[in-house]
Amino acid sequence: MVNKMVNKTRLELTERQKSVLQTLKGFILERGYPPTIRQLGEMLGISNPSAVFKHVRSLEKKGYVRRKAGEIELVGFSPAGEPLVRVPLLGFVPAGQPQEAIDLSREAVEVPEWMLGRKTGNVFCVQVEGKSMVDAYIDDGDRVLVERTNTASSGEMVIAFLEDGSVTLKRLKLEEGRISLIPENPEFQPIEVPQLRILGRVIGVMRKY
């Protein structure tokens, strides 16, 4: 987990980080796979691999990339030609104080097939309102992919329907018979509830660059 004290600014990119991100995008669009650290350094004119890695780590901490099996992946980005799947967009969900239930709509969004795995047909998308989950790389305006389920394990991020009819996005915590909904922002307080209904668990985040 990154330092929570920088939660208000860490999603913003420096000019250098924007350059690194755009270079990554361009390489993947052209070739269909990510560059190595050395290749990225050559394109950026940086000879020291450690310096390149430092930029990648900064982007990773801010939620724009992730490293998987030694490769760099852009979060929520699909290379040209990759299969897309239409997922229903079910309005907004609060990531702040619980509010009224999400609105249904007939809209849909196109999502890279790899983000769904085997869950195709059992996933919906909601747009986040609020900043209570910024330390989990989910900011106001982001869209999250949610697997429909009425069960979840402690530690998973869920869309929770509360007794008063409100809905919220939080991390579920089950401990000694207590149910808590935990924010990922120190400016917000955990919510302890006697019971809740789970509408789904978060499986992915899509951010507009």
170 catalytic per annotation: yes
d(CA 49, CA 185): 33
132 catalytic per annotation: yes
d(CA 202, CA 197): 15
Helix (H, G, I), strand (E, B) or coil at 24: helix
Task: Extract the tokens encoding 44.
Answer: 């950026």
Catalytic entry in 132, 154, 166, 180 = 132
b or e along 113-140 (b: 16 or more beta carbons within 10 Å of the residue's beta carbon)? eebbeebeeebbbbbbbbbbbbbbbbbe
Pairing of strands 166-175, 99-100: antiparallel
Amino acid 101 reads A
Cα–Cα distances in angstroms (integers) from residue 86 to residues 107, 121, 122, 158, in the given order? 10, 9, 12, 21
Catalytic entry in 105, 170, 173, 180 = 170
* Catalytic annotation, residues: 132, 170
